[in-house]
Every structure is written in C-alpha cells, then in structure tokens.
Amino acid sequence: MLRFFPILLLLLWECRPIPQTEIYRFDNIIITKYPTSAPPAFPQSFFPEKATFLHSSEFKTSHIHTKEAYILIESEEKLAMIKNRIEARAAQGDWKLIEKTEKNGETSYLLEGFIKKSLSIIVSESGSDTNYLRFYFRKHSSY
C-alpha cells in the first residue's frame, strides 16, 4: 500500500482543476477571471517571466482604445527580481518613474508614459513563495 502512495500523489497533482477563463462584458467594460493574456494597454515587459493572470478589467472608450485597465498577477519569482525588472524597465525612458513607496510589505510604483498615460504597479509580498502584482493603467487624454 505504501509503495502506491507516491503514484497516487502524482495522479492527484496532475488531476488538479485548471481554472477556466470567465469573461463578462458590460457595454464598454470587460471583466475577465483567469485571463489568458493581459489587456493590450499594459507594457508586457514589466511582467514577471512566469506569471499567472488572476483577474483583469478594462474600460474602453471605443472598440480599440483603452481608457482604464487593471490586472492582478501572481508570480513565484523572487521579490528582488520583480523589483529589479520594474526599475530597469522604467529606466529605459518610455515610462518615467515618478514615485516609489515601500510600506507594510508592499512596494508601489507610479510611472508616467507618453501621451498622458499613467501606470501604477503595486507589488505585495505574501507569507509564502508567491508574490502578487497589481497593475493599474489610465489614459488621461481622449486621443
């Protein structure tokens, strides 16, 4: 019986449920649970290499222009690597780091982009090996 225990554990691990994508649309608002990709307004280069998208929402002024967007990401990447990626990416020039704040286990970044765009990133430590990132995008102009 004990020799079958590792095989049983392996089978149970492989049979765990995979979260299904759920999409809800309300006129110009799209809410997605377990999205397969991030809304296109976000610069993907800020994201950790191995990331799980948990939740996203997007408000569009038309079918192609995003006014506001949000995404919650889970990553097992080390916190220091996540912070280094964000700061190195901000140093490239197209997103200017305006403010960085560290408080209560969270690090928040406020960035400003071209054509009146802003991006907020909040990196949260959890007690386990998982870190959470929240991205907020807003376009302040109508063009």
With bands split at pLDDT 50, 70 and 90, how would you rate the model's confidence at 44?
Answer: confident
Place of tokens 């140093």: 91
DSSP state, residue 28: T
Backbone CA torsion sign across 127, 19, 58, 46: positive
Q: What is the pLDDT of residues 62-77, one digit of tens each?
A: 777 888 999 999 998 8
DSSP-derived secondary structure letter, 38:
-
Q: Does the pTM of the predicted model rise above 0.85?
A: no
Predicted confidence (pLDDT) per residue in 75-86, tens digit: 988 888 999 999
pLDDT computed for residue 49 by the predictor: 84
Write the DSSP assignment of 62-100 as a string of letters: SSS-EEEEEEEEEE-S-HHHHHHHHHHHHTTSSEEEEEE
Which has the higher per-residue pLDDT, 1 or 59? Answer: 59
Architecture of domain 18-139: 2-Layer Sandwich (3.30)
First to last CA, the chain: 67
Cα separation, 104 vs 29, in Å, equals 32
What confidence category does residue 114 fall into, taking pLDDT thresholds of 50, 70 and 90? Answer: confident
Question: What residues does each domain of the chain span?
Answer: 18-139
